[in-house]
């Protein structure tokens, strides 16, 4: 086996954290090597070392048998290592060709040669089968296309080794499929690929071998075809985890939410909801599946009163709440886990204690006179933290300092503490690792058992399939299909999500 | 009196004269903002430039050496703004405002300390309009161009060259990249700090040049608060011009025209109060700054310090 990368005894510490603790990693030439681990396991730190962003405290790196030292990402790139970051390093107002060649422009007489760089980009895109339009501005192309620009960017700079950091996190199922083809094409062309992920099914599908990290250490390397999702999951978490939650059957109770012919506009004043009708019963989880941007966000905002509706009615427990302000809806028993916990779920510069009462500072027990009773609030927060396993030193630390999983658990704890009649959970596990995801899924099922009506929105089809009793599929602001969990499958839902006709499918 | 009589060659010539200092400053701030640093200190730097030019001209008797001094002083003040806002990551508005406040005090203090005159400096030599012989006989062009000095041509030339560099060279692409997303630029090996320093120092030099034009070309002395908000008007022109040198040039000409027109109207004595007429260029600036033009063109990272982490 010819090695393209050999990292030995890599140590990297940050104040208070040993991010990489004597890590050894060997990657063969021309293989797709998975790097699996929970958030905070040290994957990104290790790859930042390999790509020249950080310098290791200890350890050696060999590339194709030769020892190397990198001073900067540019340095690493010059030696053939290119990183495709999870958050794209692209400039939205620049064209594809400008982004691709930035820092290594094609010039003629000192001036930018636009036509030459565009034809070069076209050639490169043809060579690797990555379709893009060189003169299009990056802000107007899809996320999948942006990722292709990133990949071409490192190929243009001569990368032999390509690091993909959580590449599927932002992609639709179809785009993930395209990425799969791309990765295979790159492997065939002789490139070595490191595939960072915390999604087991993707690591199993994309990679040849996989190395699992936990708490800064390597806990094992496996040949992908000889391992299972269960084995990888337990390596990652350090205990056995159930990948699929156990959902007990439950009879539904009374109708809790009834939405009729609901209409709303999006931020650009275009119709986002075009007459949506459905209901959710107490003790039932209704999942909303759909490709991002088909009106799901506006549905949540309309139900929680964050945007005004342009038609239709919303009834909660029989009462018409269509024109109620948000606070009034929350008093009536709606709880909301927002899809963007950083922007809407939490105030990152506030302490956990302050965050734990966001949305209801008027609770009598938490006040003393007209002031907030910070002592009681801290106690209240500590109780929530204990109940939901929020790992933080104290209720006084800033929410921004917590990992995504712990932040989300705090949001859940706060919202569940209201004992809501209707729980709206939008992408509750987005970006979270296996352990936190398991915890959140079990918490949602516990709420279902208690008798809450739950509306679950997720872009992860597997999450919808695991938790829902009933599934509604959104497409272009309408419900294009309604299926019972027992009688449907991922293929049917997947086709509906892309606008495929329901009738055609079933019969 | 016929009000239309103000629309003559003299008005056009006055437009260009009024626009010249604005053009310099506007190109400077355009570069600074394109690199991601806002520099409201241009107002104060212009004033410092105007004063330095007169001071040095007073002792050397050569206004061009005065202009050079203004450019150097402007560059140094730009360096201070760059250091505080890029290296120390201070709030760019606050630092810029500090420069403006210094500019209120220091020149006025030096007027008294050096010449013992509170309101204005003594008269110094100034830069004379060019006389281009072969243009003299042409209608319109002759009188228009022969009423300007070399700096006016330099301003127009700077706008053209500034446009070409910003949009057609790798350097310009790098500057814009740094102003849009410094981290993305950093990952492809572009030196964010170096480019930002370069652009902010350049904005100081250009503001100094604009200030020098006011004191040793338009007049031949320094007077208290002589910039009268021209630095802010230049920023308005930058926004009006959608952060491009050529666009800024056009906007400066518009502001220059507004200024020239109000002067001409005052001269012929129209029955509009002169104080109201004088607000004309400022109202235009206000409209521009209020985002009437649309904010979409602003560089995404402007005003945000970059932390390499």
**DSSP secondary structure string for all residues of chain B:** --GGGG-SHHHHHHHHHHHHHHHHHHHHHHHHHHTT---TTHHHHHHHHHHHHHHHHHHHS-HHHHHHHHHHHHHHHHHHHHIIIIIS---HHHHHHHHHHHHHHHHHHHIIIII--SSBPPP---PPPP--GGGTTSTTHHHHHTT--HHHHHHHHHHHHHHHHHHHSHHHHHHHHHHH-HHHHHHTT--HHHHHHHHHHHHHHHHHHHHHHIIIIISSS-BTTTTTTHHHHHHHHHHHTTT-HHHHHHHHHHHHHHHHHHHHHHHHT-SS-HHHHHTHHHHHHHHIIIIIT-GGGS-TTTTPPP---
- State whether CATH 3.40.50.300 applies to domain A3-237: yes
Measured between CA atoms, how close is A446 to chain B, in angstroms?
42
Q: Where residue B192 sits, what CATH number does that domain have?
A: 1.10.3470
Contact A286, A455 (CB under 8 A): yes
Interface contact B181-A89, CB threshold 8 A:
yes
Chain A residue with minimal CA distance to B184? Answer: A89
Interface contact B300-A93, CB threshold 8 A:
yes
In a domain, B303, yes or no: no
Interface contact A92-B168, CB threshold 8 A:
no
Measured between CA atoms, how close is B221 to chain A, in angstroms?
42
Interface contact B189-A93, CB threshold 8 A:
no
User: Residue B294's pLDDT is what?
Assistant: 58
User: Residue A507's pLDDT is what?
Assistant: 34
Domains A3-237 and A255-346+420-506 share a fold: yes
User: What tens digit of pLDDT does each residue of A293-325 get?
Assistant: 889 999 999 999 999 999 999 999 999 999 999
User: Residue A503's pLDDT is what?
Assistant: 44
A85 contacts in chain B (CB < 8 Å):
187
What tokens were used for B289?
Answer: 């700054």
| Per-residue model confidence as pLDDT tens for chain B (309 residues) | 566 777 788 888 999 999 999 999 999 999 999 999 999 999 999 999 999 999 999 999 999 999 999 999 999 999 999 999 999 999 999 999 999 999 989 999 999 999 999 889 999 999 988 877 777 777 777 777 777 899 999 999 999 999 999 999 999 999 999 999 999 998 888 999 999 999 999 999 999 999 999 999 999 999 999 999 999 999 989 988 999 999 999 999 999 998 888 888 888 877 778 788 778 777 877 777 676 665 557 888 888 888 876
Measured between CA atoms, how close is B188 to chain A, in angstroms?
6
Interface contact A77-B176, CB threshold 8 A:
no
Q: Does B180 touch chain A (CB under 8 A)?
A: yes
Q: Does B195 touch chain A (CB under 8 A)?
A: no
Return the residue in B165, B173, B174 with the most chain A beta carbons within 10 A, the one to mutate for interface testing. B173
When CB atoms are compared, the residue of A93, A102, A107 closest to B188 is: A102
B168 contacts in chain A (CB < 8 Å):
111-112
Return the number of other C-beta atoms located less than 10 Å from residue A22's C-beta.
14
Please give the ipTM for the structure prediction.
Answer: 0.85
Q: What CA–CA distance (Å, rounded) separates B233 from B214? A: 14
Mean pLDDT, chain A cut into blocks of 10 residues (507 residues total): 90 87 94 88 90 92 92 87 89 95 92 95 92 92 90 93 88 82 92 90 92 92 93 86 76 91 89 94 94 88 93 94 91 90 88 88 72 88 91 89 86 90 92 84 93 92 91 92 88 80 42
In a domain, B205, yes or no: yes
User: What tens digit of pLDDT does each residue of A443-485 get?
Assistant: 999 999 999 999 999 988 889 999 999 999 999 899 999 999 8
What class, spelled out in words, does domain A255-346+420-506 have in CATH? Answer: alpha beta
**Residue-level length of chain B:** 309
A93 contacts in chain B (CB < 8 Å):
176, 180, 300
Radius of gyration of chain B (CA): 19
B189 contacts in chain A (CB < 8 Å):
72-74, 77, 103
Domain encompassing residue B291: 3-127+148-297
CA atoms within 13 A of residue B118's CA, in its CB half-sphere:
0
Fill in the DSSP letter of residue A91: -
Measured between CA atoms, how close is B267 to chain A, in angstroms?
47
Measured between CA atoms, how close is A140 to chain B, in angstroms?
14
Interacting residues of B31 by C-beta distance below 8 A, sequence separation 6+: B162, B166, B175, B199, B202, B203, B206
Fill in the DSSP letter of residue A506: H
Q: Is the dihedral of CA B104, B105, B106, B112 positive or negative?
A: positive
Interacting residues of A108 by C-beta distance below 8 A, sequence separation 6+: A116
**How many folded domains does chain B comprise?**
1
B190 contacts in chain A (CB < 8 Å):
102-103
When CB atoms are compared, the residue of A77, A93, A153 closest to B180 is: A93
Q: What CA–CA distance (Å, rounded) separates A158 from A151? A: 11
Strands (E), A168-308: 192-197, 209-214, 217-223, 255-265, 271-281, 285-289
Bridge partner list, B47: none
Measured between CA atoms, how close is B96 to chain A, in angstroms?
27
Measured between CA atoms, how close is B189 to chain A, in angstroms?
5
Q: Does B181 touch chain A (CB under 8 A)?
A: yes
Measured between CA atoms, how close is B45 to chain A, in angstroms?
31
Q: Does A103 touch chain B (CB under 8 A)?
A: yes
Interface contact B177-A72, CB threshold 8 A:
no
In a domain, B307, yes or no: no
Domains of chain A, by residue range, sit at 3-237, 255-346+420-506
In a domain, B15, yes or no: yes
Contact B209, B67 (CB under 8 A): yes
User: Residue B309's pLDDT is what?
Assistant: 61
DSSP H or E run through A469: none
When CB atoms are compared, the residue of B164, B170, B184 closest to A91 is: B184
Tell me how far the alpha carbon of residue B205 is from its chain's centroid: 10
Return the residue in A88, A92, A103, A109 with the most chain B beta carbons within 10 A, the one to mutate for interface testing. A103
A487-492 long-range contacts, CB within 8 A, separation 24+: A490/A461, A490/A462, A490/A465
User: Residue B143's pLDDT is what?
Assistant: 76
Give the SS3 label for residue A185.
helix
Nearest to A357 by CA among A391, A308, A328, A399: A399
B186 contacts in chain A (CB < 8 Å):
73
Q: Does B185 touch chain A (CB under 8 A)?
A: yes
A residues 378..417 contacting B (CB < 8 A): none
């Amino acid at each position: 086996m010819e090695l393209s990368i050999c990292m030995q005894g890599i140590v990297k510490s940050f104040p208070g954290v040993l991010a990489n603790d004597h890590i050894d990693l060997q990657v063969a030439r021309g293989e797709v090597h998975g790097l699996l681990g929970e958030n905070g396991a040290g994957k990104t730190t290790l790859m930042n070392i390999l790509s020249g962003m950080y310098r290791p405290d200890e350890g050696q790196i060999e590339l194709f048998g030769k020892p190397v030292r990198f001073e900067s990402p540019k340095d690493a790139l010059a030696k053939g290592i290119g990183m495709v970051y999870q958050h794209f390093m692209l400039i939205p107002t620049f064209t594809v060709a400008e982004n691709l060649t930035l820092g290594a422009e094609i010039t003629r007489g000192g001036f930018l040669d636009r036509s030459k760089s565009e034809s070069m980009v076209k050639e490169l895109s043809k060579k690797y089968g990555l379709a893009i339009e060189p003169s299009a501005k990056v802000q107007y192309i899809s996320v999948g296309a942006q990722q292709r620009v990133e990949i071409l960017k490192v190929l243009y700079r001569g990368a032999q080794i390509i690091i993909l950091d959580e590449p599927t996190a932002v992609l639709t199922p179809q785009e993930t499929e395209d990425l799969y083809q791309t990765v295979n094409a790159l492997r065939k062309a002789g490139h070595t690929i490191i595939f960072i992920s915390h999604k087991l099914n993707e690591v199993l599908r994309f990679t040849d071998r996989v190395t699992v990290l936990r708490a800064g250490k390597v806990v094992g390397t496996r040949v992908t075809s000889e391992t299972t999702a269960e084995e990888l999951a337990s390596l990652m978490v350090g205990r056995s985890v159930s990948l699929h939650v156990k959902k007990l059957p439950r009879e539904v109770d009374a109708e809790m939410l009834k939405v009729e012919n609901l209409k709303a506009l999006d931020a650009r004043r275009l119709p986002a909801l075009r007459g949506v009708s459905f209901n959710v019963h107490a003790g039932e989880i209704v999942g909303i599946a759909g490709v991002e941007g088909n009106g799901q966000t506006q549905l949540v905002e309309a139900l929680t009163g964050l945007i005004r509706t342009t038609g239709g009615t919303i009834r909660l427990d029989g009462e018409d709440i269509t024109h109620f302000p948000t606070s009034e809806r929350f008093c009536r028993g709606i709880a909301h886990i927002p899809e963007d916990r950083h922007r809407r779920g939490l105030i990152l510069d506030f302490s956990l204690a302050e965050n734990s009462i966001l949305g209801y500072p008027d609770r009598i027990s938490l006040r003393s006179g007209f002031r907030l009773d910070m002592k009681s609030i801290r106690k209240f927060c500590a109780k929530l933290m204990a109940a939901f396993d929020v790992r933080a030193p104290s209720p006084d630390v800033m929410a921004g300092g917590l990992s995504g999983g712990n932040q989300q658990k705090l949001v859940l704890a706060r919202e569940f503490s209201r004992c809501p009649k209707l729980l709206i959970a939008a992408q509750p596990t987005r970006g979270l690792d296996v352990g936190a995801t398991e915890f959140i899924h079990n918490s949602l099922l516990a709420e279902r058992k208690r008798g809450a009506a739950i509306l679950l929105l997720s872009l992860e089809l597997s999450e919808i399939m695991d938790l829902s009793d009933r599934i509604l599929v959104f497409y272009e602001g309408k419900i294009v299909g309604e299926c019972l969990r027992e009688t449907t499958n991922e293929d049917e839902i997947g086709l509906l999500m892309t606008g495929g006709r329901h009738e055609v499918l079933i019969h | 009196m016929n009000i239309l009589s103000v629309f003559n060659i003299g008005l056009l010539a006055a437009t260009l004269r009024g626009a010249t200092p604005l053009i310099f400053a506007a190109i400077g701030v355009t570069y600074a903002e394109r690199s991601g640093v806002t520099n409201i200190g241009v107002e104060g730097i212009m004033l410092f430039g105007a004063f330095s030019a007169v001071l040095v001209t007073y002792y050397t008797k050569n206004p061009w050496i005065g202009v050079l001094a203004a450019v150097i002083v402007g560059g140094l003040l730009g360096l201070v703004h760059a250091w505080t806002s890029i290296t120390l990551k201070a709030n760019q508005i606050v630092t810029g405002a500090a420069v403006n406040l210094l500019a209120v005090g220091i020149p006025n203090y030096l007027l008294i300390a050096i010449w013992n005159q509170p309101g204005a400096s003594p008269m110094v030599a100034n830069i004379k309009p060019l006389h281009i012989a072969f243009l003299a006989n042409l209608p319109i062009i002759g009188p228009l161009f022969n009423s300007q000095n070399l700096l006016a041509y330099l301003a127009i030339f700077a706008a053209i060259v500034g446009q070409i560099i910003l949009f057609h060279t790798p350097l310009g692409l790098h500057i814009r990249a740094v102003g849009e997303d410094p981290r993305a630029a950093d990952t492809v090996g572009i030196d964010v700090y170096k480019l930002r320093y370069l652009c902010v120092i350049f904005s100081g030099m250009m503001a100094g040049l604009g200030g020098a034009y006011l004191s040793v070309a338009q007049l031949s002395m320094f007077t208290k608060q002589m910039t009268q908000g021209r630095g802010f008007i230049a920023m308005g022109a930058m926004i009006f011009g959608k952060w491009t040198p050529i666009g800024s040039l056009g906007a400066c000409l518009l502001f220059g025209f507004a200024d020239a027109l109000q002067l001409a109207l005052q001269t012929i004595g129209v029955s509009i109060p002169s104080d109201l007429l004088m607000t004309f260029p400022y109202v235009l600036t206000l409209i521009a700054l209020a985002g009437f033009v649309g904010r979409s063109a602003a560089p995404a990272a402007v005003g945000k310090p970059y932390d390499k982490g």
